[in-house]
Amino acid sequence: MGVLTNRVAIVTGGARGIGESVVCEFAKEGARVAVVDIDIEGARRVGAQVDADDTLVLPIWADISDEASVEQMVEASVRHFGQIDILVNNAGIYPRYIWHEMTVGQWDNIQAVNLKSCFLCSRAVFPHFKRREAGKIINLSSGTFSLGKPRDLVHYIASKGGVVGFTRALAHEVGEFNIQVNAIAPGAVETEEERKVADPQMVASIVAQQCLKGRVLAKHIARAAVFLASEDADMITGQTINVDGGWAMQ
């Protein structure tokens, strides 16, 4: 039996990258998982990869920046699995903009996808967690919040700093209901999305700044999420764990 046997998790942004790895590792540990993404075909691909019989994984389309869409997503998850035990707020975007040339619409979109979604999804699962007096919320922040770089990510770094603040404050609000709220701050993670914005020279520069001279993989983030979702982390809340090879420290 895995450490997440008989647990049900919602993973947003589960169609690729870190989210896909979280889905795979949770399923290996016995969890049933709602794979939530605006890319429904990607979510279905991950679902088929993890669970050919469609009994352990449920792909769900949702716009996690939209209140009604989030509510429908959580309702569909509960209807299918009967319960919700874990929420992983992983979905996020990081287009690069020069800060003083960025439009208000671009700023607002980043905050909506990266930060508001954490609030919306957490609020939607809260009644289910409160009723059972148990639940795990895991938010994805970023090591860039500790570093304040790289350039042209002011909007992104601000949103990920907000995730840390949200994590700490929410932990105080829901602790009386035995709900743990924590965050993971990845460093430079080797994914398909990273390859679109970081060339080999940029990656090598970051690795040179790490204490551990190797690439951070999506699986490293996913295994940290498994730990936080498990009973082993029942007395950990309000914390942010950096998984970045020692690039940023708190």
Q: Report the DSSP beta bridge partners of residue 12.
A: 36
Q: Is 218 helix (H, G, I), strand (E, B) or coil?
A: helix
Q: Which residues are catalytic?
A: 156
Q: Is 245 helix (H, G, I), strand (E, B) or coil?
A: coil
- Phi-psi region at 162: left, alpha or beta (left = phi > 0; alpha = psi -120 to 50): alpha
Angle, vertex CA 207, rays to CA 203 and CA 209, nearest 5: 120
Q: Where are the alpha helices (DSSP H) in the chain?
A: 17-28, 40-50, 67-81, 104-111, 117-132, 144-147, 154-174, 192-197, 200-209, 218-229
How large is the angle between the packed helices 154-174 and 117-132, nearest 10 degrees? 20
Q: Which helix (H) or strand (E) holds 216?
A: strand 216-217
Alpha-carbon span 41 to 123, nearest angstrom: 27
